[in-house]
Structure 1
């Protein structure tokens, strides 16, 4: 006598079997999946961002002028190429502000301070080199003036703009209320021109007057008179071979005096034309020029 085993079937023809005793496997598999995902996330968070370290390496190498260093992990480094091509300079402040731990933050701040010191040192060296160039120009002009017996009417100084060659516009340089260069004035400008021809710096010519008002002549005020005198000097420099595109003329009337009106020297010494050999350095480095000039004078 045969026994038939009847099995229930789901709709669609598939057999339904009871597996109630194996349901714990599903929960166990879910737990393992979650753990594996957690370990993957933790592993990813523990890895050093090599791109940022390479960028940091590139920035510091440029700043200090040292060979490139490849950072392989916090606190360790290997000399040589980073192997990632050129990297954009890294903003170290972003490293400090993105949840870095205390040690990493201190290292980043130390690197920022070192970078600032390197920049300051580079600016100081550039300013000193610029002063040396201006001193060379000054000596050339002085030699030319000495040959013309005209050095007494010219003074030199270095400020944030560059080398300032001051021509006192006495009666031997310009006539009273006049913008026409007299014979001695032409000799002075002609002595200045050769030293400027061989340089590439732009040159600004500034006209200044004293506080006394204009009472005669073709110019209604000191503004027109100071500008006309500066323009006359510019035209003379162009005629002596200085490219016009390097030159600029400005008039300041009595608004930028060297001496206050109460000083007896103001009448004669505020009346001047300044030929300024402009520095082409950045603003932060140009601000160091006066101190660099002082140091140069102290050591010479």
Structure 2
């Protein structure tokens, strides 16, 4: 009766020992499935990590349609920044692309004269560019007016509450006129007066940073049950205590 070669006997013994060794390792280890699944999902969300490339699409946009929408939003944002730079307005405007939408901060020196709420000509150029961002992707627009802490006390604006609200409403009205097809109920004008400073009001530089208009182009609309969505006017009531 033929027998196996001697090397096969040795090979079989080694394989048996290896299998026994791995069985013992597995029996003494604890597999944490949650961590394992999290690790796998991280690899799935970052297909380009091994090629050295960086994905600009957030992890939330893993599906094809969401990925395409996120790419379109990023392109809108880049085009907006490019047009601002071409017009030499980059220093007076800060724009950030966030998960919630596009956040724009405009210095009030570009928008209004001191103690006034009428838009200056340079601000109209900026707002025309911003109106181009109004599309189906934008669910709501919140325009916020901010002042420094110096009191105003004029006949038209008894306090900074009225001034900041009127400035926000002026910007909203202009955006509405430039994009009449965009539903006016999606706009909101809010006056913060001096309650939300970005810098100290102890210096001229700090006060200049605090006098601003902020515009948030939200991808999602607000909850109509919690927020009144009516067309803002300069007489709108400011938010505050």
TM-score interval, smaller chain: 0.5 to 0.7
1:276 is displaced (CA, Å) by 0.7
1:237 is displaced (CA, Å) by 0.6
Counterparts in 2 of 1:161 and 1:199: CA distance versus 1, 3 Å: closer
Counterparts in 2 of 1:186 and 1:264: CA distance versus 1, 3 Å: same
1:277 is displaced (CA, Å) by 1.4
1:227 and 2:150 aligned = no
Contact 1:205 1:233 in 2 (8 A): yes
Contact 1:204 1:248 in 2 (8 A): yes
- Secondary structure of the residue aligned to 2:95 is strand
Choose between structure 1 and 2: higher helix proportion.
1
Q: Which runs of 5 or more residues in structure 1 are unaligned?
A: 1-105, 282-300
In 2, Cα distance between equivalents of 1:274 and 1:239: 19
1:240 is displaced (CA, Å) by 0.7
2:93 to 141, 145, 154: 154
Cα shift readout 1:105-129 (whole Å, capped 9, x = no counterpart): x88x73597379849x879512695
Q: Which has the higher contact order (CA 8 A, sep 6+)?
A: 2
In 2, Cα distance between equivalents of 1:252 and 1:159: 22
Q: Which runs of 5 or more residues in structure 2 are unaligned?
A: 1-29, 46-56, 222-241
For residue 119 of structure 2, what is the aligned residue in structure 1?
A: 181
1:158 is displaced (CA, Å) by 4.0
Contact 1:207 1:252 in 2 (8 A): yes
Scaled by the length of structure 1, the TM-score of the pair is: 0.49
Further displaced range: 205-214 or 193-202 = 193-202
Counterparts in 2 of 1:183 and 1:202: CA distance versus 1, 3 Å: same
For residue 272 of structure 1, what is the aligned residue in structure 2?
A: 212
1:280 is displaced (CA, Å) by 3.1
1:114 to 37, 50, 61: 37
Paired residues in the alignment total 175
1:163 and 2:86 aligned = no
- Secondary structure of the residue aligned to 2:137 is coil
Scaled by the length of structure 2, the TM-score of the pair is: 0.60
For residue 16 of structure 1, what is the aligned residue in structure 2?
A: none
1:259 to 189, 199, 206: 199
1:256 is displaced (CA, Å) by 1.3
